[in-house]
Amino acid sequence: MKILVTGAAGKLGSNIVENLVKKVNASDIIAGVREPQSEKAKAYEAQGIEVRLTDFEKKETLVEAFKGVDRVFIVSTVVPVMEIVIQQQKNTVEAAKEAGVSQLVYSSGPRADVSDFVLAAPHRERENIIKESGIPYVFVRNNWYVENELDTIQQCLNGAPWVTSAGEGKVAWVYRPDLGEATANVLSGDGHDNKAYELAGENLTQQQFVDAVNGVTGKEIPLLTVDSEAHAKMLKEAGVPEEFVSLLVMIQKGIREGGLEAPHSDLEMLLGRKPTSVKEALQILLK
């Protein structure tokens, strides 16, 4: 069985490949990358992992890359233009159909099929494109990475307060390597066709997350709670580009309304162990 991982040079993709190597022969893994001559690609080849060009905007590269492949992991891309995102997904799915791929595994977002969270709609559209293809699928719906907060944590360790307009809304923060391991388990296992898995960690408020950071670092980072208008003003004054200001504030609003709180999680089931806690993740990331 051949497994191709798109975005294999990225952080999530490379973690999936790293875990797949522990489960299947390296010769059964294909790393899909945008730059086959990169150092990362060469490192894969040194491990006996085949490297193929996969450019979501060039369908012909995908058709060629997917030849002889049984399962494909589709990494979700971050593109500000929705039309480009949708075309990328159509290119990938159409190429998979032409190549006869037997399963598509897509890294989606929390409760993408029903959520009103600002980032859910693109995932919902991409899930629907996969469903309509008729190819057996698995959606691994990844919640918010602990790693997403590292820049903010560093700013706070340098003296800034933790500013939030998320109120008492909770986030099911999850450690990215856990997601890579769980996804590798899906790609290398059986019995997952046409299932959607919610991959989430502990549900914590902003204050609880900051408390965890303080506990790990020994610092006393203060939490500054503001409303959306004040938050937007502060972000602008900090030099954040206008297009990102509105997105960040909308994300905080979504958190406030429960968009990243997880009623349940399939992560422990897919890992076969307890997921890494936020505190444990921070201890690893901040050491």
Residue 117, burial from CB neighbour count under 10 angstroms (0-12, 13-18, 19+):
buried
One DSSP character per residue, 193-229 reads TTEEEEE--EEE-HHHHHHHHHHHH---PPEEE--HH
Give pTM, 2 decimals.
0.95
Quick one: pLDDT at residue 243?
83
* Residue 287: per-residue pLDDT: 86
Q: So what's the pLDDT on residue 177?
A: 98
CATH number (domain holding residue 182) = 3.40.50.720
* Structural domain includes residue 78: yes
Does any domain span residue 36?
Answer: yes
Amino acid 68: pLDDT = 98
Tally of domains in the chain: 1
230 within a domain of the structure (yes/no): no
The three-class DSSP label of residue 53 is strand
Backbone angles phi, psi at 190, to 5 degrees: -125, 165
Residue 244: inside a domain: no
- Domain assignment present for residue 152? The answer is no
- The verdict on residue 162 lying in a domain is no
Tokens 């560093």 sit at which residue?
154
pLDDT averaged per 10 residues in sequence order, the chain, 287 residues = 97 98 98 96 97 97 98 89 91 98 98 96 96 98 98 95 97 98 98 98 98 97 97 92 91 97 98 98 96
Residue 99: per-residue pLDDT? 97
pLDDT of residue 175: 98
What is the domain range of residue 17?
Answer: 3-143+175-199+263-272
The whole-number pLDDT of residue 81 equals 79
Distance CA(133)–CA(94), nearest Å, equals 8
96 lies in a domain? yes
pLDDT in the model for residue 172? 98
Does residue 167 lie in a domain region?
A: no
